[in-house]
Each structure stands twice: as C-alpha cells, then as structure tokens.
C-alpha cells in the first residue's frame, strides 16, 4: 500500500450541498465547521444551500471549499485515518498547510478568505477564463499559447492535460487553433484567469496580508504548487507566488510517489484530483471522500492494507 497522502481539492470542484452529509454524521466535521462558520457567518449555509452561481464566485468558492475540506480531513482523522504527507491543488494547498500544522485551522480559513477577496477583485478587473486542453503534449500547448496575446499555460494537471488562463477576447481563437491541431478544450467552472499574470496584483496584496500571520514548521511533509517539491523555502514567499504561478501537479504527484506514497485520498468535494492521479500513475490506489459510506470504505481498505 505504501504511505498515505491526503490531497485537497481546488477551485472548480465545488457543488451545492457540499459537506452536508459529513456535517450530519461526523462530530469532528461538525465541530470544526461550526468554529469556522463563526469566523465568517453564512459559510455553512452557502455550502449546504448556495446555488451553483453563488458558489462559482471566488469570494464564496474558496472559503466554502476550505471549510468542506478541513471538515472532511477531521472526519477521517476521527476514524483513525491520518496521512504521511499532504498536498493541495491551488486553494487546497492552504488547507494542506493548516492540516500539516504550519498554520492554525482558524488562521488558514482567514487566509483563504482574504486570498479569495484579492483574486475576486483581480478577476473583475481582468476578465478571463480557464480552459483544460486535452490530447496535446505540454510542449505543444505552450507553443500554441505563445501565438496569442494573454494566453498562459498555468496548471500541469496530468499527461495530456494542461490548463490555460486566457483573456476573454483571446480564448475563441485559441480554442479554434487547439481543435485544428487535433486537441480539444473544456471550460473550467471558475470565475477568473488564475495562476497567471492576470493575478499579479492579487499576489502582491496577498504577500502583504501574510505578514499578519505566524507560521510553524510542518508536522508532516507538504508539497508546493510552485516547485512541485516538499516545502523548503519560506512559506509566505511560496504562497504569494502561487497565485500567479503555474500549478505543478504532475510533479507533485510523481515526487510523492517517489517518496513512497502509494495511496492518495482526495479530501474535498468531487473526484477531480483522483482522476488526474490515476492518469499520472495507474498503479497507486485512490479514494475520494463524500459521505459516511465513503469514509467506511476508506477505513476498511486503508486500515487493512
């Protein structure tokens, strides 16, 4: 089985009703959820009853995702499932930081809420979209993006899947070119061109915000979106860079596997990361957590090796 990793979902995996089943069945999930909702009242209501459009707004998406993810992780810990390493995709990296003990769960929530505000502001100033490009090599996507103004490869998700952030006025021509090359595109359920130069001012504002928080050494290995490797540099520097830098998810997963991880548990709504990890390496075991039944399955199979 190897080591166990928790991987925390990123923006785009949100869905109405997320976290409700665990809130109703896990005391640990309910306790941390109530604590965080007291910091930002209405977050739980948004998770459970918000519409798709409500949840798509970055200022709502990120705190709702963080709350759902940290609650799910606590529900797993309540049942005796703990990781040997953690990583998160985009905003999920902040959840991973909190779960690893680098920052408190409450401060992690405050940090992600401010991050969302800064990114929402820049998204409104620089209208952009994100497309997953399928069936083309990373290098070819990079070459095609370079032909257009304001199209940037940003997320290296899996072999044959690279996400680009693009200005609204550039995306149609880029999509046509991808189709001409034999690839296809899929629009992501996000409201901005993240991990790109569109977010430069958000990264600068976030860097200043992080000066208000204290960070400790991690209690377990955690991997950086910016480098794809275990954290070694200053946490504040990497976190602020992350907003405007590509996510090196393939590198993260491969480096975790090289360090002995054989089981990945996606902690958060949906199964996006589970699918990406399977495409990166078909030999590892993957799980995603949605409700009490999924936790029962994970406890049974992971505990028994």
pLDDT in tens, 242-295: 999 999 999 999 999 999 999 999 998 889 999 999 999 999 999 998 788 888
Asked if 229 and 255 touch (Cβ cutoff 8 Å), the reply is yes
- Is 90 catalytic? The answer is yes
- Is 126 catalytic? The answer is no
**Rounded distance, CA 89 to CA 106, Å?**
20
Selecting among 9, 33, 90, 294, the annotated active-site residue is 90
Give the pLDDT confidence of 38-48 residue by residue, as tens digits: 999 999 999 99
Residue 56 pLDDT greater than 90, yes or no? no
Predicted local confidence at residue 232, as pLDDT: 81
Selecting among 195, 196, 240, 245, the annotated active-site residue is 195
Reply yes or no on domain 127-187 having CATH 3.60.21.10: no
Give the pLDDT confidence of 58-68 residue by residue, as tens digits: 899 999 999 99
**Rounded distance, CA 51 to CA 39, Å?**
22
Predicted local confidence at residue 4, as pLDDT: 97
For residue 243, which of 281, 271, 205 has the smallest C-alpha distance? Answer: 205
Regarding the domain delimited by 3-124+196-303, which CATH topology (the fold level of the hierarchy) does it fall under?
A: Malonyl-Coenzyme A Acyl Carrier Protein; domain 2 (3.40.366)
Residue 12 pLDDT greater than 90, yes or no? no
Give the pLDDT confidence of 207-232 residue by residue, as tens digits: 999 999 999 999 999 999 999 999 98
% of the chain at pLDDT higher than 90: 86
**φ, ψ at 166 (rounded to 5°):** -145, 145
For residue 67, which of 90, 83, 89, 46 has the smallest C-alpha distance? Answer: 46
For residue 25, which of 14, 16, 36, 33 has the smallest C-alpha distance? Answer: 33
% of the chain at pLDDT higher than 70: 99
For residue 195, which of 11, 7, 6 has the smallest C-alpha distance? Answer: 11
**pTM of the prediction?**
0.93
Domain boundaries, the chain: 3-124+196-303, 127-187
Residue 173 pLDDT greater than 80, yes or no? yes
Predicted local confidence at residue 292, as pLDDT: 82
**Rounded distance, CA 104 to CA 213, Å?**
10
């Amino acid at each position: 089985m190897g080591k166990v990793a928790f991987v925390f979902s990123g923006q785009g995996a949100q869905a109405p009703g997320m976290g409700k089943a665990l809130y109703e069945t896990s005391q640990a999930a309910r306790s941390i959820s109530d604590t965080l909702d007291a910091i930002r009242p209405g977050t739980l209501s948004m998770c459970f009853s918000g519409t798709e459009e409500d949840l798509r707004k970055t200022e709502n998406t990120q705190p709702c995702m963080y709350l759902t993810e940290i609650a799910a992780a606590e529900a797993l810990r309540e049942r005796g499932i703990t990781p040997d390493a953690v990583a998160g995709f985009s905003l999920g990296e902040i959840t991973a930081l909190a779960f690893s003990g680098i920052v408190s769960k409450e401060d992690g929530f405050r940090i992600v809420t401010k991050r969302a505000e800064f990114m929402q502001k820049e998204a409104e100033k620089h209208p952009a979209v994100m497309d997953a490009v399928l069936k083309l090599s990373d290098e070819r996507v990079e070459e095609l993006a370079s032909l257009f103004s304001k199209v940037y490869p940003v997320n290296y998700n899996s072999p044959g899947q690279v996400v680009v952030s693009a200005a609204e006025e550039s995306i149609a021509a880029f999509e046509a070119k991808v189709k001409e090359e034999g690839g296809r595109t899929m629009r992501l359920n996000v409201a901005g061109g993240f991990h790109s130069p569109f977010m430069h001012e958000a990264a600068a504002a976030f860097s200043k915000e992080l000066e208000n928080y204290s960070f400790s050494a991690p209690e377990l290995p955690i991997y950086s979106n910016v480098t794809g490797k275990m954290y070694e540099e200053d946490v504040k520097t990497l976190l602020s860079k992350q907003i405007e830098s590509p996510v090196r998810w393939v590198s993260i997963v491969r480096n975790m596997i090289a360090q002995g991880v054989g089981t990945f548990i996606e902690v958060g709504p949906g199964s996006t990361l589970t699918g990406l990890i399977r495409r990166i390496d078909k030999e590892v075991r993957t799980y995603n957590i949605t409700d009490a039944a999924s936790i029962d399955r994970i406890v049974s199979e992971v505990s028994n090796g």
